[in-house]
Structure 1
C-alpha cells in the first residue's frame, strides 16, 4: 500500500533513499544529545516542506520528488535544538519555494534548497539561531529521557566555534569526535558524519572529488594561516571537526544538482568551498562559514563546468592538429 502510494505521488529516486538511510544514525544521535524535540522539529519541517512542494508540483501537474525529504532532514539537522517551530517552518517553506521550485523544480535549482532555508532563517532570525543553544547530554539514556536538554546562556558553554571566537579556547578533539558538545542537531558528531560519508562514497552517491576538494582547500589555507600565527584561525583539525564543516562537506557540498557535473569541476568547486569557509570563519561576522561558502560555490558551479569543458575542447582540438 505504501509502495503504491509512493509510486503514484512521488518521483522514485533511489539515490535520495540512500542519503536518507545514511542520515538515520545522525538523526538518532540528535535525539540522544538534545532530546526528543529534535524529532518534533524534524516532523514539522518535513510536513511543511513536503506540503510546499506538493502544492507547487500539483499546480504544474507533476509528481513530488523524494529529494524533498532529504532537503527537509538536512535543513532540520542544521538548526539549534531550541529553534522555535514556527521559525523552522517559515525557513523550509522559503527554502523549498525560492531555492527550488521557482527554478522549475528538482534538477533545475541553482542553489541547495536546504542551505537557502538555513541562510534565510539565520539572517532573518539571528537571535534564536546564534544565541540560544542546549547542552549535549551524556551517559545513558541521554536525551532519550527528556524533551529537550538544558539551555545554555553563557558563551563559555556555547558551540565550539563560538567559544574559540570569543575566548580563543578549543574544546577537546575527543568531544568533537564523539559529538557531546553544544551545536546544531546533526552537526556535532564527527564520527557519525564520517561513517555516513564513507557509506555514501561506497554507494557512489556522493562524489569523492568534491569532498577531497573541500578538505584540501580548507586544510591548505587554514594550515598556512595557522602556522603564520593568525589568532583568528584554529588548527585545521579543530576546524574540520567543528562548526558543521564535516556535515556540510558530506551532505551539502556533494548535492548533485547544485554542484558541478564534471569530475574536474567537482574538485575545483570543493576546493573553492574549502577556501571560502576559512576566509568567512576567520574574517567575517559569522563563526561558521560553511553554509555561506557552499552557497557561494553554487553560484560558480555552472561557470566551473563551462570552463572545464572549454579546456577539454581546446585540448581535443590541439590533439587533432598534432595527429594531423
Structure 2
C-alpha cells in the first residue's frame, strides 16, 4: 500500500517554483481568453503527471516526486488547444513523464523536454483535437471568467494566425498578437505576457538569456534571408516571432536546464539551430508551428554541441600551452 505525504514524497525545487510564478499571469490569461476549462484541464493533467512520477519513483525506489513534474504538466497543458479532451491530455502527460523522463532515470537525466515529448505524442496520435478543434477568444469585459469554455471556431483555415497565413497569406493584427486576442493554444497567444515572463526568468537567473536570444536570432536571421530571396511561404520575422508558439518555446521549452545545451557557446549554437529549424519546418513542412519539433531536434544535438565546445576549448588551450612552452 502506497502512502503519500508532501513532506516525505515531494522534492522541493526553488528554481521550478520561480517558473511556476512566471506562468501565473499566462494561466490567468488562458482563463480570460478561453474560459475556466483551461484551469480544470491543467489541474487534471497535473494530478496525472504527479501520480505517474510518484508511482514510478516509488516502484523503483529512486527518490521523491519533483516539483519539475508540475512545471512539465503546466507547460504541456498550455501548449494544448482549449477544447482538448481530458483523456487526450491524460494520455499525453503519462506518455511524456514515462518516455520523456522516467525511462532515462528520472529527474535530471532526461535527454528530451518531457512536456514536448507529451505534446509531440498527442499531436501525431490525435490530430483532430490538436490541429482542427480550436476555440474563439472571449471579447467580453470579464472574458472567460464567466463561462466554462468559449465557442468553437467555424473556419479551420482561420483558426490560428499561422493557419490563416498558410491558407490565405494574410497576417493577423499585430496588436492582437501582442496582447493575445487570437485563437490558439492556451498559453501561446499573448506575446506580452510571455515576454514579461521571460524577463522575470532572466532577472531571477532561472533561465538562460543566451538560449532565448539565440532561438529568436536564428529564427529572425533565416526568415530574413529566405524572405529576401523571395520565398513567400515564410512570413516576415515579426509576425513569425509573435505567432505559432515561438516565444513560448524560446522562453519556457528551449531553456529547460536538463535537456538544453549547458556551455555558454553551446547555448548560442543550440538556440540558433532551433530557430533556424523552426523556419524550415514552418515554411516547407506540413506543420504550421514547428517550434515543438525544432526543440526536440535541438535536444538531440545539445550533448554533442556541448562536447564539441569543450573539445574545441581543450584543443585551443593545449595549442596555446604548446606555443608558450
Q: Shorter-normalised TM-score: what interval?
A: over 0.9
Aligned to 1:41: 41
What secondary structure is seen at the aligned counterpart in 2 of 1:151?
coil
Count of matched residue pairs: 321
8 Å CA contact 1:155–1:166 kept in 2: the answer is no
d(CA) in 2 for partners of 1:6, 1:79: 28
2:119 is the counterpart of 1:118: yes
Aligned to 1:55: 55
Aligned to 2:271: 270
Aligned to 1:78: 79
Matches within 5 A, 1:116-195: 116-195=117-196
Aligned to 1:285: 286
d(CA) in 1 for partners of 2:66, 2:157: 43
Deviation at 1:156, TM superposition (A): 4.8
Aligned to 1:300: 301
2:272 is the counterpart of 1:246: no
8 Å CA contact 1:22–1:196 kept in 2: the answer is yes
d(CA) in 2 for partners of 1:156, 1:51: 38
Aligned to 1:257: 258
The runs of 4+ residues in structure 1 deviating greater than 6 Å are: none
d(CA) in 1 for partners of 2:315, 2:154: 58
Segments of 5+ residues of structure 1 without an aligned counterpart are none
Deviation at 1:6, TM superposition (A): 3.5
Matches within 5 A, 1:211-226: 211-226=212-227
Aligned to 1:105: 106
d(CA) in 1 for partners of 2:150, 2:292: 25
Deviation at 1:139, TM superposition (A): 3.4
8 Å CA contact 1:34–1:137 kept in 2: the answer is yes
d(CA) in 1 for partners of 2:87, 2:323: 64
CA RMSD of aligned residues (A): 1.1
Deviation at 1:321, TM superposition (A): 1.0
8 Å CA contact 1:161–1:287 kept in 2: the answer is yes
The C-alpha deviation readout for 1:39-66, integer Å capped at 9, x for no partner, is 1110110010100000000112211111
Matches within 5 A, 1:18-29: 18-29=18-29
TM-score (norm 1): 0.97
8 Å CA contact 1:75–1:115 kept in 2: the answer is yes
Aligned to 1:198: 199
The C-alpha deviation readout for 1:85-143, integer Å capped at 9, x for no partner, is 00010000000000000000011000000000000000000011000100011231001
Aligned to 1:11: 11
8 Å CA contact 1:132–1:153 kept in 2: the answer is no
8 Å CA contact 1:259–1:269 kept in 2: the answer is yes
Deviation at 1:5, TM superposition (A): 4.8
d(CA) in 1 for partners of 2:243, 2:158: 14
d(CA) in 1 for partners of 2:126, 2:154: 17
d(CA) in 2 for partners of 1:305, 1:120: 27
2:30 is the counterpart of 1:30: yes
d(CA) in 1 for partners of 2:107, 2:266: 21
8 Å CA contact 1:11–1:63 kept in 2: the answer is yes
What secondary structure is seen at the aligned counterpart in 2 of 1:92?
helix
d(CA) in 1 for partners of 2:8, 2:286: 47
